[in-house]
């Protein structure tokens, strides 16, 4: 079964970023103990200081569903919608290919051919 990647793009309301990040850090402690959790990282936009991208990786759709419905997470969703979020977008994907600089097995053949020369 494929991993599931949840991309959460959020623009935080002015003056709410510190509170949101503190709350998100506390919530991440629960996420890291959840069944099926693999990893989570957060990134800051270079063009908009109030825009963040959180990338969470789960073992499967069931683990993502359990997290989505976890009571602390539902409370965080309400908090965010009411006080913290100017806008957000959630994208859920499964990888088609995964490769690194050192491990090119799943890389496109044309890329492998190009970089071998």
Question: What is the average pLDDT across 91-115?
Answer: 90
The whole-number pLDDT of residue 78 equals 93
CB contact set of 30 (below 8 Å; sequence gap of 6+): 70, 72, 73
Residue numbers of the domain that contains 47: 4-116
Number of domains in the chain: 1
- The domain that holds 92 is classified in CATH as 3.30.70.100
Most confident of 17-26, 56-65, 101-110: 56-65
Whether 1 has a pLDDT exceeding 70, the answer reads no
Q: Which helix (H) or strand (E) holds 18?
A: helix 17-31
Whether 32 has a pLDDT exceeding 90, the answer reads no
Integer Cα distance of 108 and 78 in angstroms: 42
| pLDDT, greater one: 117 or 109 | 109
Model pTM?
0.88
Cα 101 off chain centre by: 22
């Amino acid at each position: 079964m494929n991993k599931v990647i949840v991309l959460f793009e959020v623009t935080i309301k002015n003056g709410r970023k510190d509170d949101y990040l503190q709350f998100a850090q506390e919530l991440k402690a629960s996420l890291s103990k959840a069944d099926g959790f693999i990893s989570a990282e957060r990134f800051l936009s270079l063009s908009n200081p109030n825009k963040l991208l959180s990338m969470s990786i789960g073992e499967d759709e069931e683990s993502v569903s359990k997290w989505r419905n976890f009571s602390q997470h539902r409370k965080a969703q309400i908090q965010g919608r009411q006080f913290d979020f100017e806008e957000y977008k959630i994208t859920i994907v499964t990888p088609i290919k995964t490769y690194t600089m050192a491990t090119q097995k799943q890389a496109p053949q044309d890329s492998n051919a190009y970089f071998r020369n």
